[in-house]
Chains A and B, each alone.
Chain A
Amino acid sequence: MTAIDFKRFFGKMAPSSLSPVRVMTKEKAIVASHINLVYRNGGEEFKALQDVSLTVKSGEVHLLMGPSGSGKTTLLSILAGLLTPTSGQVHLLGEEITQFSRPHLAAFRLQHLGFIFQGFNLFPALTACENVEVAFHLKGIHQARKKAIELLDQVGLADRCNNRPQDLSGGQKQRVAIARALAGNPQLIMADEPTAALDSQNGHAIIELLRSLAKTSGRTVLIVTHDPRILDVADRVTDLEDGKIVTKLTKAKPGQH
């Protein structure tokens, strides 16, 4: 069991409100089945992921938690189609991406996925607006500047359009990264430790922003984190340890005891 503060996640809810994975009634955004990833080095094998199965419903904010080295970022890479598992299947938005070719995967990511990174991964030579515009241009969407400003406005940074990343604070950089991830309205947002480089206040603000964006537009947000401060914004938490899922917890809704 990990050191996650589940009390914080579930707040004042009674322990009886904890329940294992519920029967999914909503559309499934992510379905990973029996994922294994084995690294071989000479005669030695290292099992990075072992029989991992995971389902993320559309429109929910899902946390993938675990200590360092537990395999959560590796799992995120597989779910995003950036890494090919040794075995197992990944379905995103109803399509089995493990069967896709690399160019097909790239096109799928471009169309349906938005990414947020721990280190922001903004282009340092570009302004905030240009960083967002890049995503629009990659997707072939016109009026990129106008739409980039709209997105920056949504994340509260319309007045920072012409600032380069070096002129922005950590929280502002992550907001620009979120605006970029939202370009083209992708259905799935995948975030890797989005609060790790931020202080508590900024970290919470970023997570609230992600949650509100998810809830208002019905996007699915998968967040890899080991930051227990953000438990309370999640709909569901999957806990990973040593490459295996050890816990799947769902926040109970009122009246679902």
Chain B
Amino acid sequence: MASIARKNLFEDIPRFLVAQAGIMFAVSLVTIQLGILKGFSRSTAIVIDYARADLWVASKEMVAFELTSPLPADYINKSMAVTGVDRAEILLVRAGRWRGPDGKLSPARVFGFNPDGELFAGWTLSDGTLKAIKQPYTAIVASGVQKSLGLDENRTGSIGGLPVTIVGTAEDVQSNASSPFLFSSLETANAYGDAEINSSINCIRQASGDLDCANSFKSRPLGQKNGELAPPKPLSLSDPISYVLIRAKPGQDLGQLKQRLLTALPETQILTQAEIAAVTRNYWEVRTGVGFILGLGATVGFIVGMVVVGQILYASVTDHLREFGTLKAMGASNGVIYRIIIEQSLWMAILGYIPSMGICLTLGQWTQMTRGIMILIEPSTAAAVLLLTVVMCMGSAIFAVQKVTRLDPAIVFKA
């Protein structure tokens, strides 16, 4: 049978295109909001996802990956002493003030880890090698943040007065919720974390009795000695660390290992990789309200789409009222007429969905490449948006269906 729904839809191409633009706007809005929410959520714990640890030893006060209290470095040795632990590695999470080559300041997050280690850096480098950060005052930068850091072709900057030379770029590791990520050796990261700027006030009492004071600011890089830049000092057992990453021996029961680690390491919590990632994501999505805001955006997109499609369908049904009346007069059941309207709404849904998804995927790639912002559109997200679009379009057909239901077929005899 010739599809009346499809033919009605394509009867007036300009009107159809305007209608599809409305649907595409709604679908894109929902997809981008969901994509940003998922991308944001994924990115907040993406560094954790790349790690290969079975368990993470964290402070009992830890709220999220980047919001935790320090642990004694000695816990690395204590961890290794626990039965069932195959390997343990330190992870430092430090905050720093980055000064780019243009002199502009920006916050930075510095992660310190053992470049010869096996448990932390599972990400891919688009340039450079992990071993390169063994050189003092070098770091790997997360892709997409070069612009934020003001990096030029020399790829240098400083943190707290200490120089930073970028020696590599890590792909797809940046959190959308955080300052730009830098990855260094434990020693370098520790030095950047401790680097600070001192201020001192020197006052001289004048003859008049007034005080003449001068406030001096001086950066105090810890590694500087007699004007020469000394290499960062090795991590000592008294230094604070952020996490201990644990790899269990093969065949170990992780539940039991957790208990043994808890006993050996007081004031800690032991989490699996999935658990610490979930805690972090939950923090950002729920406690910061970001999830609510992005979810609200997606809901608004859904409602806008429903209103747009509803108006279009209602107008279309009104335009073709005589035709629906003719069908009813001929003896078509309400079911036949509902099917036409619903088929029309489904055509609108599909034809609005496909180009919208293409636009969103392209936009997602562009934001990832240029801004480091992830709009994550996984197959499950795409399927969910398709389902939402269909529900949105079919739901909006209700008003049109009601209009046709109330239609008096005797309308057909009115000229």
Q: Which residue of B lies closest to A107 (CB)?
A: B331
- Residue A239 is within 8 A (CB to CB) of chain B in the complex: no
Q: Does A9 contact B (CB under 8 A)?
A: no
Restricting to A59-104, which residues have a CB under 8 Å from any CB of B? Answer: 73, 76-77, 80, 82-83, 103
Contacts of B410 in A (CB 8 A): 77, 82-83
B1 touches A111 (CB 8 A): no
Q: Given A80-B329, A130-B2, A133-B2 in contact, is the A119-B415 Cβ separation under 8 Å?
A: yes
B328 near A121 (CB under 8 angstroms)? no
Q: Which residues of B contact A110 (CB under 8 A)?
A: 330-332
Q: How many residues of B are counted as interface, with CB atoms below 8 angstroms from the partner's CB atoms?
A: 26
Chain B hits for A125, CB < 8 A: 4, 7-8, 10-11
Q: Are B331 and A121 in contact (CB under 8 A)?
A: no
Complex Cα gap A138–B1 (Å): 9
Q: A123, A124, A125, A196: which has the most chain B beta carbons within 10 Å?
A: A125
Decide if A240 is an interface residue (CB 8 Å cutoff).
no
Q: Is the pair B4, A123 in contact by a Cβ cutoff of 8 Å?
A: yes
B330, A135: Cβ atoms closer than 8 Å: yes
Within 8 A of A (CB), among B1-53: 1-2, 4, 7-8, 10-11
**Across the interface, which residues of A come within 8 angstroms of B415, CB to CB?**
118-119, 193, 196-197
Expressed in whole angstroms, the minimum distance between the Cβ of B2 and any Cβ of chain A is 4
Q: Which of B11, B331, B332 is A113 in contact with, Cβ under 8 Å? A: B331
Query: Given B11, B325, B330, which contacts A109 in the complex, CB threshold below 8 Å?
Result: B330
Pairwise interchain contact B413-A138, C-beta atoms closer than 8 A? no
CB-contact partner of B1 in A83, A118, A137, under 8 A: A137
- Is B180 close to A, CB under 8 A? no
Q: Cβ of A115: which chain B residues have Cβ within 8 Å of it?
A: 326, 329-330, 412
B7 to chain A, nearest CB (A): 4
Q: Which residue of B is nearest A197, CB measured?
A: B415
- Tell me which of A124, A138, A144, A193 contacts B332 (CB under 8 A): A138
A253–B326 CA distance with the chains assembled, in angstroms: 37
Contact size range, A: 35 or more
Most chain B CB inside 10 Å of its own CB: which residue of A115, A123, A196, A197: A123
Q: Given A82-B410, A121-B322, A144-B1, are A138 and B330 also a contact pair (CB < 8 Å)? A: yes
Contact bitstring A177-196, B, C-beta under 8 A = 1, else 0: 00000000000000011001
Q: Is B327 an interface residue (CB 8 A)?
A: yes
A13 interfacial contact with B, CB 8 Å: no
Instruction: Decide if A126 touches B331 in the complex (CB within 8 Å).
Output: no
Interface flags for A109-147 (1: CB within 8 Å of B; 0: not) read 111010101110101111100100111011000001000
A residues adjacent to B (C-beta < 8 A) = 73, 76-77, 80, 82-83, 103, 106-111, 113, 115, 117-119, 121, 123-127, 130, 133-135, 137-138, 144, 192-193, 196-197
A-B contact pairs, 6 of them (CB 8 A): A77-B410, A82-B413, A111-B331, A119-B322, A125-B4, A197-B415
Known A73-B413, A197-B415; 16 more pairs at CB < 8 Å: A83-B410, A103-B333, A106-B328, A106-B331, A106-B332, A107-B333, A115-B412, A118-B413, A121-B322, A123-B4, A123-B323, A124-B11, A125-B8, A133-B1, A135-B330, A138-B327
